[in-house]
Amino acid sequence: MDTPPFALFAHLDQRPVLVVGGGALAERKVDALLQAGALPRLVAEQLTPYLQQLLQQGLIAWTARRFQPEALEGTWLAVLASDDPRLVREVTTAATERRILTDAVDPARQPPRSPAADAQHGSGAGRVTLVGAGSGDPGLLTLAALRTLQQADVVLHDRLVSEAVLQLVPRHVRRIEVGKSAGQHSMSQQAIHALMLQHARDGARVVRLKGGDAFVFGRGGEELEFLRQHGIAFDVVPGITAALACAAYAGIPLTHRDHAQSVRLVTAHCKDSLDTLDWQALAQERQTLAVYMGVAGLEDFRTRMLDAGRAAATPFALVENGSRPEQRVITGTLADLPGTARAYQVKSPALLLLGEVTALAESLHWFGSPPLRAADLAQPSGNVDASILSRAA
């Protein structure tokens, strides 16, 4: 058909709509149809893992075969989500005979590609860029990260990526949440790998957006190894990791000539990770520890640090929601760490900073509320003055 199509906005609430295709194009169309309240029925020989997930959730129906005209029965609209010209012709002819409108893939409405990206797309293969989103404040995104988001076709993001950062993803770019938060796995690592692979093979510019930095407790290495094994091109944009962001926004210099000559980034999210740490080395004075994912294991952490010789009076700062408007900083000493965290009901995401430098938060804090102190807890931890808890909320 040579004449230009007529652009139409249709109310499709609760109306069956046929989608022909089960690939990345179909994903985009199905997302838009679900947002419009439509009831998508797909006809395709195969579905992507994402569409299979929607199928399992009962959000779409699927006929697992090539398109046949009877699939149009009872539908209000036929949505073309295939590049196959023969299939497109067949659907258009059958739909026209039945006076059913077809929604075609309009090349003029595809998001523009940069010449550099076109060069990379020459072989039909896409590319994955691993992007660190920083810890929450969108001002912490690098210019490279912002540019990459603006040129993306699809963004696969973790739950830790803040809404303020996601607002910077252009509206035409598809956003898929794939991330995990402690204990709640929304998608397995294998499913995330499969999703990256599928979009890259479809020729998309994929941004894999992760909280903080992708190479700091972010499984970025595993994802790149997988892409390399499958011959997918990739690059990496670093982000501001939680240790840097939390320290900066809490007024805690990680090193200081008078207090700490080194910094260690440590994870302590399960017993296994605690068992493999070198506690003697961690317990040395004049160094700062930044402990990721440690909120659940503070009791164990304190015991092991004390056993390894770190002084009970060593100051700590727990930074919850660092760099975000709801940031809280809780300070105290190693001796009362777990009780103080309990009393102030510290929740994930929170980063534990331990070491002499953390005492400086008291005088150098500049962002949000002043630190909440263990010393302000009027009664023994676990049985706390109500006024303190209301400050903590």
Ligand X SMILES: C[S@@+](CC[C@H](N)C(=O)[O-])C[C@H]1O[C@@H](n2cnc3c(N)ncnc32)[C@H](O)[C@@H]1O
Backbone angles phi, psi at 202, to 5 degrees: -80, 0
Q: What is the spatial distance between Cα 363 and Cα 370, in angstroms, rounded to a whole number?
A: 9
**In sequence order, which residues have a C-beta less than 8 Å from that of residue 302 and are 6 or more positions away?**
334, 335, 337, 338
Q: What is the spatial distance between Cα 292 and Cα 134, in angstroms, rounded to a whole number?
A: 14
Identify the three-state secondary structure at position 275. Answer: helix
Please state the closest distance from residue 141 (CB atom) to ligand X, in A.
13
Please state the closest distance from residue 89 (CB atom) to ligand X, in A.
48
H/E stretch holding 290 reads strand 287-292
In 214-270, alpha helices (H): 220-229, 242-250
Q: What is the spatial distance between Cα 116 and Cα 114, in angstroms, rounded to a whole number?
A: 5
The answer to whether 213 is a known catalytic residue is no
Active-site residue, from 158, 202, 213, 376: 158
Identify the three-state secondary structure at position 378. Answer: coil
Please state the closest distance from residue 223 (CB atom) to ligand X, in A.
12
User: Smaller CB distance to ligand X: residue 25 or 346?
Assistant: 346
User: Smaller CB distance to ligand X: residue 78 or 318?
Assistant: 318
Q: What is the spatial distance between Cα 318 and Cα 329, in angstroms, rounded to a whole number?
A: 6
Q: What is the DSSP letter of 256?
A: B
Backbone angles phi, psi at 100, to 5 degrees: -110, 130
Please state the closest distance from residue 340 (CB atom) to ligand X, in A.
16
User: Smaller CB distance to ligand X: residue 131 or 246?
Assistant: 246
Please state the closest distance from residue 390 (CB atom) to ligand X, in A.
22
User: Smaller CB distance to ligand X: residue 292 or 344?
Assistant: 292
User: Smaller CB distance to ligand X: residue 182 or 281?
Assistant: 182
The answer to whether 158 is a known catalytic residue is yes
Active-site residue, from 31, 84, 180, 300: 180
Q: What is the spatial distance between Cα 305 and Cα 334, in angstroms, rounded to a whole number?
A: 8
User: Smaller CB distance to ligand X: residue 18 or 131?
Assistant: 131
Binding site for ligand X (CB under 6 A): 135-136, 160, 210-213, 216-218, 241-242, 246, 292-293, 319, 321-324, 348-351
Q: What is the spatial distance between Cα 143 and Cα 140, in angstroms, rounded to a whole number?
A: 9
Please state the closest distance from residue 140 (CB atom) to ligand X, in A.
10
Q: Which of 216, 209, 212, 217 minimizes the C-alpha distance to 140? A: 212
In the block, tokens 């309240």 appear at 37
Q: What is the DSSP letter of 212?
A: B
Which residue number has the CB closest to ligand X?
212
Q: Which amino acids are annotated catalytic?
A: 158, 180
